[in-house]
Structure 1
Amino acid sequence: MTESQTLLPPDEFIISRLGDCTHPSPMRGMAFTPDNDGVLYHTLKTEIQPYQEQGLDLPAFEMAGPRETIFFDPDILSCGIVTCGGLCPGLNDVIRAIVLSLYHHYGVRKVFGFRYGFEGLNPSYYHTPLDLTPTLVGGIHQKGGSVLGSSRGPQDPKIMVDTLVHLGIGLLFVIGGDGTLRGAEAIAREIERRDLRIGVISIPKTIDNDICNVDISFGYETAVAESRRSTSTAHVEAIGARNGIGLVKLMGRESGFIAAAATLANNEVNFCLIPEVPFSLDVFLKALEKRLRLRGHAVIVVGEGAGQSLFDDNLGADASGNRKLGDIGHLLKDRIKSYFQAQAMDISLKYIDPSYMIRSTAASASDSAFCLQLGQYAVHAGMSGRTNMLVGHWNNQFTHVPIPMAVQSRKKVDPQGKLWASVLASTGQPINML
């Protein structure tokens, strides 16, 4: 830890609770997690040393897991589940895991599935909630998408809490990304303002893997594995033609984790362009020309949020409040063609955008297992009276993360870090393309 880095206060990690746990857990034969168990935030000796020198407690996340006593009485509890934002591999897996854990671990028999995102919590949209039963969710994990549907954009927290009160819901599970987490926090704040005993538990969903203070999100592993098909196809097309170029656009609005990981997963990519590392078109195109003249083919992977400085117009924002992006894939395709035409150099360019095919696919085996655990740990947290939090993963452990801590910034690829250094070593692209 450098002198410029701030020591984290322990109270930043505190999880809000609805009250004391007075009901014995109906779970049997479990290794219950004590409330004082934690997962250290820092792992490096240089990060821990300043706390030790000042006699401070080491910052730690609360460890996820079932508690021996719980807050809610399962016999009278009703729950709700909502999925928001774009589709992502594993959504159905998480829904299924929550329903089955509520039913089989705790005996909760009433679970509402709110349809089409936060719209489902606004009666004016007339989306009748689904009755989520073990029978209904039995095989949904084998399919992509969300059985509940999804949508972008916020709704009035007062109206959404009114719906929860009207339906007698004591525990709401919210599955979504950065904007959805902010919506869940707004719901939790409105519940707190009314002094209600309703818990709000989130499961972070972002295919881009950009949630702060969570080391990996569900769907990311599947996205990288599926992206490998596109980069392999691009390579086959590139080497099959004289001066062949394969251009692949992958997800990654603010963070280039998928593009970087896909580049490493297929060691045939020659240029990786991500949002965190700016580049000049002139420098990039000259480097591409050099590559073609030397090797006769090239494969380019670009994250969707890369090169946004190359667009002049402010394109506004989408329903979730995210800035609209210029289409970097089509811009690169057009500029590459124009550049080599001016050089009187024939090329064969193939452009591949697999984004919707990737995000709508079913979860991989690894992701599916991860989703199952996320759903179960979310249920354990909710039943123990936690609220305004999400289930995270840190240092190979499942954790409880306060929502404000998760939405304070976006997780990004560090241009000076080891991941990007590995990408540069794998591609051989210029270190600086400005």
Structure 2
Amino acid sequence: MGGNHQLRDRHQGGTGCPPRRAHFLHGGWSIVTLDTEIKTLGKPSFPSPLRCRRFTTDDRRVLLNPFSSESTKDAPSFELAGPREMLFFDPQQSTAAILTAGGLCPGLNDVIRALVHQLHFNYGVPRILGVRFGFAGLNPVEGWPMIELTPRLVRHIHEDGGTILGTSRGPQPVNVMVDTLVREKVDMLFVIGGDGTLHGAMEIEKEIARRKLPIAVVGIPKTIDNDIDVITRTFGFDTAVTEAVEAIRCAHTEAESIVNGIGLVKLMGRESGFVAVHAALAEGDANFVLIPEVPFELDGPKGFLKALEERIKRRQHALVVVAEGAGQHLFKGEAKFDASGNRILGDIGLLLKKRISEHFAKAGIEVSIKYIDPSYIIRSVPANPNDCVFCVFLAQNAAHAALAGKTGMLIGSIHNHYVHVPIRTAVARRKKVDPDGPLWRSVLEATGQPEWMGCAG
């Protein structure tokens, strides 16, 4: 049941707009290959010391699509996560290292703490290192020596946002990072991060494999945007939606309290609009939700500004929620990129504020715009209880996988089951809101906004 499976993508363009991008697991036109094979370092030979003897085996799998019309044998599926009865590493003779990189996200400290507890208390791993400031901590030239993580040190860190280890963006020389792992006698490297960080982890694993070293690399996906492909959810997303709802509620209160008030909230979502969509649905008062996956134009009889004007004339207030990556085609000039290779986005929130103000001034309608960007506040808060529990599950299963010799993979959740996903598969594509799917249909029904504003559907 492992190996390569074929999935499908469909892309359809609209006249005068950037192409509509839909992400499908089944159906569509272009064929892509889904790799589900998990690498292992070798045959396990050490019995697990876990007192809870509820083990799982590598032949247990979770279907990607439980409603697949394919036979179970041919349908894409992933290896079930969980403790193995036999381990590749002798826990009492092993060293683990934990690294966090990329942007801040609620739950980072929760994952670090749960990893330390699982490795120390349940497996008896005697040495757990913390890599400081992301991949920079694996390059001696940067000057950030590792710290030893103990249960006492991590005792209360889950009560705070951020990461006790610090973080950074951008690559480091792969050969130097692997040299550091060898010098520190690291057997297992746990990498906590999003798309860019997981790409870095993948390169480290490749160099380790090239040298034929017995070092496991296991990822724990972290992205507020919830845009890691295949898996259902990433930690921090639930907290981000909860916090975003409060920002939207405040914007609605402001807009509703004055004549022709417009609340405008910009939320996270570089390429995927899941935070904006879920927060808008949860709060329930948004009139427009703008996301990267659904193109729109500002001007014209069917554009966003005309639709907003009609809303103001009809109800004397409006609430707009926009993901940070929406409407990037509205910005001109050469694209620029940050240290991690991410495109530097134009500020769609400020652009909308400016264009809305200009439009209504030209129409002779006085409006009051209340603009809120809570992004950095949301990134730095502690995880909510739901995310806290999720982080514990992810960390525990990551420890199980690494000690069993699994490598080049991450822990993900599919249909409430924890699975092993090859990193190369998870980062091959971004997960996106499907403009033809039930989630976006629910937004259209809840907001009443036009399906395509200024773009052909």
Q: Identify whether the pair has TM-score above 0.5, normalized to the shorter chain.
A: yes
1:420 to 433, 440, 445: 440
2:164 to 134, 147, 150: 147
Please give the alpha-carbon distance, in whole angstroms, between the structure 2 residues aligned to 1:252 and 1:275. 8
Tell me which residue corresponds to 1:215.
232
Tell me which residue corresponds to 2:64.
41
Pair 1:230-2:250 in alignment: no
Greater helix share, structure number: 1
Contact residue 304 and residue 329 of structure 1 kept, 8 A: yes
Tell me which residue corresponds to 1:342.
362
- 1:220-269 Cα deviation digits (max 9, x unpaired): 00000000110000000001111000000000000000000011011100
Please give the alpha-carbon distance, in whole angstroms, between the structure 1 residues aligned to 2:311 and 2:31. 44
Tell me which residue corresponds to 2:184.
167
SS at match of 2:252: helix
2:322 to 272, 293, 302: 302
Q: Per-residue deviation at 1:2?
A: 3.8
Tell me which residue corresponds to 2:21.
none
Pair 1:396-2:416 in alignment: yes
Pair 1:110-2:127 in alignment: yes
Q: Structure 2 matches for 1:322-333, cutoff 5 A?
A: 322-333=342-353
Q: Per-residue deviation at 1:7?
A: 8.4
Contact residue 42 and residue 48 of structure 1 kept, 8 A: no
Pair 1:23-2:46 in alignment: yes
| Counterpart residue type for residue 97 of structure 1 | A
Q: Structure 2 matches for 1:280-291, cutoff 5 A?
A: 280-282=297-299, 283-291=303-311
Tell me which residue corresponds to 2:336.
316
Identity of aligned residues (%): 54
Tell me which residue corresponds to 2:210.
193
Tell me which residue corresponds to 1:386.
406
- 1:16-50 Cα deviation digits (max 9, x unpaired): 00001000000012311112111011211xx333x
2:81 to 58, 64, 69: 64
Gapped runs of 5+ residues in structure 1? none
Q: Structure 2 matches for 1:117-136, cutoff 5 A?
A: 117-136=134-153
SS at match of 2:449: coil
| Counterpart residue type for residue 28 of structure 1 | R
Please give the alpha-carbon distance, in whole angstroms, between the structure 1 residues aligned to 2:257 and 2:201. 50
| Counterpart residue type for residue 139 of structure 1 | H
SS at match of 1:127: coil
Tell me which residue corresponds to 2:14.
none
Please give the alpha-carbon distance, in whole angstroms, between the structure 2 residues aligned to 1:371 and 1:2. 33
Please give the alpha-carbon distance, in whole angstroms, between the structure 2 residues aligned to 1:287 and 1:175. 42
Please give the alpha-carbon distance, in whole angstroms, between the structure 2 residues aligned to 1:322 and 1:59. 30
| Counterpart residue type for residue 428 of structure 1 | G
| Counterpart residue type for residue 279 of structure 1 | F
2:282 to 247, 265, 268: 265
**TM-score scaled by structure 2?**
0.92
Q: Per-residue deviation at 1:315?
A: 3.6
SS at match of 1:371: helix
2:97 to 60, 64, 80: 80
SS at match of 1:165: helix
Q: Per-residue deviation at 1:91?
A: 0.2
- Count of aligned positions: 426
Please give the alpha-carbon distance, in whole angstroms, between the structure 2 residues aligned to 1:229 and 1:371. 23
- 1:182-203 Cα deviation digits (max 9, x unpaired): 1001000000000100000000
Please give the alpha-carbon distance, in whole angstroms, between the structure 1 residues aligned to 2:384 and 2:179. 38
Task: Extract structure 1 runs of 4+ deviating beyond 4 A.
Answer: 5-9
Contact residue 63 and residue 398 of structure 1 kept, 8 A: yes
Please give the alpha-carbon distance, in whole angstroms, between the structure 1 residues aligned to 2:306 and 2:148. 59
Contact residue 23 and residue 73 of structure 1 kept, 8 A: yes
Pair 1:363-2:346 in alignment: no
Contact residue 8 and residue 59 of structure 1 kept, 8 A: no
Contact residue 119 and residue 155 of structure 1 kept, 8 A: yes
Contact residue 250 and residue 304 of structure 1 kept, 8 A: yes
How well do the aligned residues superpose, as a CA RMSD in angstroms? 1.2
Q: Per-residue deviation at 1:57?
A: 3.2
**TM-score scaled by structure 1?**
0.96
Q: Per-residue deviation at 1:61?
A: 0.2
SS at match of 2:96: strand
Deviates more, 1:285-294 or 1:34-43: 34-43
Contact residue 181 and residue 403 of structure 1 kept, 8 A: yes
